[in-house]
Structure formats: structure tokens, C-alpha cells
Structure 1
Amino acid sequence: MATVSGKVETRDVLIVVYDGVQLLDVAGPLDVFDRAGREADAGYRVRLASVGGWDVATSAGAALGVSADLARVRKPPDTLVVAGGHGYAAAAGDPDLVRHVRRLSAGARRTGSVCTGAFVLAEAGLLDGRRATTHWAYCTELAAGYPAVSVEPDAIFVRDGTVVTSAGVTAGIDLTLSLLEDDCGPEVARAVAKFLVVFMKRPGGQSQFGSRARNETLRGGALRDLVDAIDGDPSGDLSVPALAARLGMSRRHFSRLFTQEVGVSPGAYVERARVAVARSLLEGSADGVDAIAARCGFNTVETMRRAFVRETGVSPAAYRDRFRRD
């Protein structure tokens, strides 16, 4: 931490909040910065700011006291963070909030968002041409609404220049620990992580926490029925020749049509479907990994392991350890 006249420099952190903000999106970063001051005398002054300076109601119903009116914050903070929450759409649609975020970000050393706070940054144009992430359940919406943003759906947090965005809710802690490491070094960040009983670096990506949503882009018809059949039972012969034969198409035409309509190749879709069923079995079944691999259509346990790592970032065994229901 830099010093001024022998004293620890105080870094100004401004967290932007609004009605419907997620409490943990705010509390996580707050506690990291607070603990840093207790661990290493790191100087952070953290303030909550809203449009009008009004206190806000979180999505959980608890009220948050706000100490700053965005319009009255003239000096840009060292670090600007926009929290996420169920109220993100209204926040991104508030021209005053978006304008002040854009203005303050221009002078801040770094700008970040937690969870769906990324939508506010995107609306302000701060993510154009950048890589970014948000909560796994909203990545598709972010990518569709802001095509100039390169969305990375599996990342816990993404740094692109002076802008950093995080995945959902508790991922704001991961993001803030990373910022703390930049400011104070890895030992301080590690000490704070240990005290808060969290990983210094979370293993795997956020896809291990997500659920595989049903493909809603297809209308009714033979291809829709085929996709539903793959989702319902991915254990059979789902090779391109077998799938093409079901629809009476050539392999080449089927592959081109499937990729165009579904958005991924037949092989990639089948792999995702098999991993989705394997995840469910690992969570709720007592079967061994080899039996689960066979039930899901994987030829070998190693084939399932590789597919699982590609889709979730962790091995089947690690996934079961974390998410198995007692």
C-alpha cells in the first residue's frame, strides 16, 4: 500500500447500490476491505452511493444505509464497484445512474461489477470491446443485449484492462480479494481469505454451479423432438450418422442444420446433455463413477472425466464431493 508522508494512503471505494440490490453483492466486498484494514492497516474508505443518496431496499428486504449521492460525488473514487441484484434491469434503465457511473468510471483507477451489476457497466458502454462475465444464469441475456461485449460464462471474474467483472453473488468476494492482492500483496489477501473462510482462488469455474437450461430457441418440429430426446436419454447411440438417420437427412446436411438452429454442433450438444445427467446422478445417486459414465452414454470413465472438466472445470469426483446430497 502506498504511503503519503509516512502514513498509509487511504483508497476511496465507492459501491453503487439501488433498490433490489443483492445484499451479499454489497456485503462481500465490504467485509474484504474491512478485514484488510484489520489485518494489515490497509487504508480503505468504503461508501455506498445511490441516485439521490437515498437508502435502498435489498432484494431480501433489508434496508441499506447510503452515505453518498452519486450526483454529489465530484472526485472519482480509486475503485468504483456496481453491485448486482434483482433490480439490475431497472438500474441499467435509469439514465441518471448510468450517466454517473460512466462519469465516475472515467476518472477511477479501476471499475468493477459484481454479478448483474455488469448490465449497468454494459449500458454505460464501459464493456464495449471488452471481455466480461456475470452470474451464470444471466450470461446469455448479457451477450444478447450487448453484442459488443465478449461474455465469458464460465469465469469467476474477468479482468480486461482497468475493468473487472465477476460472476454471481459470492464471486464478488473473489473479485475483491484479487483487487486487494493488487494493492497489498498476496500475503494480505491470503490472510483475509483465511479469516473469511473462503478460497484464495476458487477451484473451477462458475459452470459447476449452473444448471443446464432447456433450449428455447427451437420451435416445434422434428429437430425440437430430437433435441428433447437427447436431453431425456443421452445414453444411446447419438453419433451424427445415427441422429441424421432419425431425421432422414445426410450427415452433412444434418450437421449444418443442427449447428445453425441449436447454436452448437451435434457432438457438443450431446456432450453437454450427458454431463448434465451425470451431474444429477453424482448429486443424488450412490452409484459409482464408472456406473454413472455407462448410464450417461460415455464409453469410458476417462471420457466422462474429460467432458466433465470441459463443461464444469472440475472432475466428477470433485463435483460429487461439493454437491452430493446427503
Structure 2
Amino acid sequence: MSQVVGFFIYDEFQTVDLAGPLDAFAVANDLLAPELGYQLTTLAGDATPVRSESGLRTMADTTLANCAKVDTLVVIGGRGCQAVIADQDQMAQLRRLAGNCKRVVSICTGAFVVAAMWPNRALKLATHWDFANKLAMQFPHIVVESDKLFVQSEEVYSSGGLTAGIDLALSLIAQDHGSTLAQRVAQYMVMYVRRSGDQRQYSSLLSVQQTLSQRFQSSIEFIQNNIDKPLSLEMLADEASLSPRHFRRVFKDKVGVSPMRFVQRLRLEKAKDLLCNSELSVVQISSRIGFGSPSLLTRKFTQEYGVNPTQYRENFTMEIK
């Protein structure tokens, strides 16, 4: 039985937030029998052209008021989301549709609209990391998942911005029709299917780089570029033209962890990424990220995350988190 997926757009919506998930469902339609596919429709507040942030103009298929029902309501992100929240008629129509559908999905800053739809629900919502603090301040009744790619909270699904919306769409396709179809859609779109919602939108370790002096930025770049090689405190200190003792002290003061602890955590972050985004074996991953043996990777990974690499891959591949 087919499902109706309605994409709500408005003036100053983000084009990729619409096009990415929309195309994922459209590709799924090409691979499904017609009676099992998705009926895709765009919704807007009125029957006039809608202008995206980038200037692209499009005409929605129908208006919110003329749409009787959808199975999945997708609220696209964009700068215009605050104007939507201020429009009581549009919000009332969105609540009507949301109250009768199987699931509500927000992409990027569409989370602001979803949070405003239910002021008394303590939902967990993801959004683009750059808007997480604003979302939390504007809607203190929700729990903001500031760095996850996508999350589920009851029947509400939300994702970070831009390409994270495609990850969420692939996960919903897998939920509806199985991971094999989602894999085929991802392959057609020339992207990985195995980015779980648990993955971070960005590396919290590497984000500190922006606040460091050029010397320590260069040290982190050296670690990244040589992560597959044996690294020692002496080697890193020599690269920074400092004594090992002085380098260790200043690095820990600036970054928050010791140099070798930073190296280990970065290796483990890369291991998580490869476990979700590749078919590499644990043996191959351990070699690629500089652990001397798969047993060492397994031991350190388990100590850090509470599960071994194989369990992590099984638990988080294609799951909503």
C-alpha cells in the first residue's frame, strides 16, 4: 500500500533540505512496485510561488488547507521557519495534518516549527549544530540533540541540516521497505547508507582546532595526516619544535586532553566512522587508523564505548537513534 509523503515548504526554505530527502524517496519509487511506492507532494501556505533561500522559485503541488491527509509530514528547514511559527493559520493546519499522520519529520531548522507545534511535549529533536543553542533557548520544553545526525522521539523524527536529511530519509525507507532497498537507493545516489543517527554531525575533537594557535593547529593536522602511522609524544613534540614535556603540558592545557589521549580518541572516532560508513573488516580498520592489531582496537574501543566494534556496527547500522 502506497504512502503519501507531504513536504512543507515556505518562503526562504533551504533547497537541499527539500531536494535531498525528496530525491531519496523518488529513487525508492523507481525500485518499488507502484502500489508500494510513495506519493510525493509539496505543500505550502498558499497557492503562490515559494522562493528558497538560494532564490529558486517553485510552486507547491497544493496548499496546507487543501491537503486532507498525509502519512508522513516533512517540515523543511530554512531561514523562513520563524515566519511560519508566527503564522497562526499555517501552524493550525500543520497541527491538523500532524495529528492524523503516521510520522512527522523535520529537516534542519524545521525542528523549530515542530517544537512550536507541540509546546507541551518534551520531544527530543535534532537540528543543524549551528542552531542547536537557539532551538534550546527558544523552546526550553524540548531536549535538543545538538550533534546527532538524526533522532526519533515517539512518532517525531528530526535530523541535522543538509545531507543529514538524506540519511534520515534512507533510514525511513529502510524502516518501511527494508535495508536492502535503502542500500540500493544510497548506491544510486552515490552515497553511503550506513550513517546512523548516533553519528556526530562534526568531530568535537577537531572542532577545538579553530581556537588554537597555528602551532597546535599544525600539530592536529599532522596527527590527522599520519593517523595510520605509529605516533609518539616525542614525534609530535619534535614536529611542534618543543620539548616533549613542554608540548604535553601546553597541549593538554589548550585542548583539554593529553596529546596521546587525543590521538587515541581521534583514532576511535575514525573507527566509528569506518564501521558505519564502509565494509572494511575490523582488521582492515585497525591498520588504517594506526592501531597495531585488531585486538588492541577491540580492547580500546570497548573501554571507550562499552561495546566492541562488531557489536557497534550491528547495533547502529541503519538504526534510528
SS at match of 1:201: coil
TM-score of the aligned structures, taking structure 1 as reference length: 0.67
- In the alignment, the residues of structure 2 paired with residue 311 and residue 102 of structure 1 have an alpha-carbon distance, to the nearest angstrom, of 41
Tell me if structure 2 keeps the 8 A contact 1:153–1:207.
Answer: no
Which residue matches 1:269?
none
Q: Distance in 1 between matches of 2:55 and 2:144?
A: 30
Task: Tell me the C-alpha RMSD between the 2 structures.
Answer: 3.5
1:55 aligned to 2:14?
no
Q: Counterpart of 1:6?
A: none
In structure 2, do the counterparts of structure 1 residues 164 and 300 end up closer, same or farther at CA, with 3 Å as the change threshold?
Answer: same
Q: Deviations over 1:158-211 (max 9, x none)?
A: 011110000011111011111111111111111101111111122731033998
Q: Do the aligned residues in 2 keep the contact of 1:207 with 1:311 (CA within 8 Å)?
A: no
Change beyond 3 A, Cα 1:156–1:89: same
Q: Kindly tell me: are residues 197 and 163 of structure 1, through their superposed partners in 2, closer, same or farther at Cα, counting changes over 3 Å?
A: same
Q: Which residue of 1 aligns with 2:264?
A: 305
Cα contact 1:37–1:44 (8 A) shared by 2: yes
SS of equivalent residue, structure 2 residue 99: helix
The answer to whether residue 144 in structure 2 is matched with residue 155 in structure 1 is no
- Corresponding residue SS for 2:157: strand
Q: Please, which moves more after superposition, 30-39 or 89-98?
A: 89-98
8 Å Cα contact 2:44/2:62 also seen in 1:
yes
Report whether the alignment pairs 1:281 with 2:221: yes
Letter in 2 for 1:115: C
| Count of aligned pairs | 253
Contact 1:53/1:70 (8 A) holds in 2: no
Deviation at 1:89, TM superposition (A): 1.9
Partner of 1:105: 98
- Aligned partner of 2:124 in structure 1 is 131
Identity %: 30
- Which residue does the alignment assign to 1:71? 65
Residue of structure 2 equivalent to 1:22: 14
Structure 1 residues 200-236: Cα deviation after superposition (integer angstroms, max 9, x where no partner)? 12273103399859xxxxxxxxxxxxxxxxx55699x
Q: Distance in 1 between matches of 2:96 and 2:17?
A: 22
- Residues 30 and 232 of structure 1: is their aligned pair in 2 closer, same or farther, counting only changes over 3 Å? closer
Work out the CA distance in 2 between the residues paired with 1:207 and 1:124.
Answer: 28
Q: Which deviates more, 134-143 or 293-302? A: 293-302
8 Å CA contact 2:17, 2:76 repeated in 1? yes
4+ residue runs over 4 A deviation: 209-213, 231-235, 277-280, 282-295, 307-315
Change (3 A) 1:115 1:313: farther
Gaps of 5+ in 2: 238-246, 275-287, 290-321
Name 1:206's counterpart in structure 2: 201
Distance 1:129 1:63, change over 3 A: same
Shift of 1:312: 12
Displacement of 1:66 in angstroms is: 0.7
Kindly provide the amino acid, as one letter, of the partner of residue 306 in structure 1: R
8 Å Cα contact 2:7-2:43 kept in structure 1: yes
Gap change, CA 1:314 and 1:11, over 3 Å in 2: closer
